[in-house]
Each structure stands twice: as structure tokens, then as C-alpha cells.
Amino acid sequence: MTLALEIITLVLGAVAMLAVLPRGRRLSWTRRRRTPPQRPTDLARMERVVMLRSTAAEVHRRIRPPLREIALSRLGNRGVRLDHQPEVARQLLGDELWELVRPDRPQPEDPRGPGMTLEELERLTDRLEAV
């Protein structure tokens, strides 16, 4: 009777494995659809500002703050404090990005002056990614 019980247990275990195993295989064999990475909301918002009304005031008021926050974070990951180590920060960020995010950046003299092109914004975000 012990042998019969072992055989029944073995058969039930095999049936249970067959019931579970195909699902696991199907999951690993099926191609998962890759969803394209979503653009960060702040970046999309900045692009709209640049495309619609890129004045010097808009760049200073709406584009500079999120780029500055990202710069603070990226530099912080490297142990650099933007406001307290300006020369090191400038070296890592590059002159163009530094001029936009530096702590002592004044308000634009001509608020209605030219702002920023989409190419400039892309160049700055690429630079931030490289930090």
C-alpha cells in the first residue's frame, strides 16, 4: 500500500507540474511589447514653451528652474554642490548650461528678447544627461 501511495503522489505531482509548466514557458517565450519610453513631463512642457513663446523671460521663469533642479541633482550625485563649488560645476556643465543654471543669473535685461530654440534645449538636456 505504501508503494501505491507513492505512485499516486508521484503521478499527481507530475500532473500538477504539467499544469503549471506550460504557463511559465509561454511567458518566457512570448515577446513582450516594448513600449517606447515616455518623455518626462517637464521636458515636454519645456519644449512646448520653447516652440510656442520662447522669450528671454519665459526661458528664465519656466525653463531655467527645472533644468537647474536637474543640474543640482546630477552634480549632487558626483558630490558637487552647484551653489558652493561654481568652478567645478561650470567645468562639468559646460559654459552654455552653466550660464542658464548658475545661482547668480540675473533676470534678462530685455524680457521680450529672444529666448531659446528647440535645438538649444536639446543640446542642454543632452549635456545634463552626460553629467
pLDDT digits (tens, 9 = 90+) for 80-130: 999 999 999 999 999 999 999 999 999 999 999 988 888 888 899 899 999
Look at residue 86 in the predicted model and tell me its pLDDT.
95
Look at residue 60 in the predicted model and tell me its pLDDT.
92
Look at residue 51 in the predicted model and tell me its pLDDT.
65
Look at residue 96 in the predicted model and tell me its pLDDT.
95
Least confident interval from 2-16, 25-39, 59-73: 25-39
Look at residue 15 in the predicted model and tell me its pLDDT.
65
45/43 Cα distance (integer angstroms): 5
- Determine phi and psi for 56, rounding to 5 degrees: -60, -40
pLDDT at 38 over 60: no
Look at residue 85 in the predicted model and tell me its pLDDT.
95
Report the pLDDT averaged over residues 10-26: 61
Contacts of 12 (CB under 8 A, 6+ apart): none
pTM over 0.95: no
pLDDT at 69 over 80: yes
Report the pLDDT averaged over residues 53-73: 89
- For the chain, the domains span 41-130
Helix (H, G, I), strand (E, B) or coil at 23: helix
78/65 Cα distance (integer angstroms): 20
Measured on CA atoms in the order 7, 12, 13, 15, is the torsion positive or negative? positive
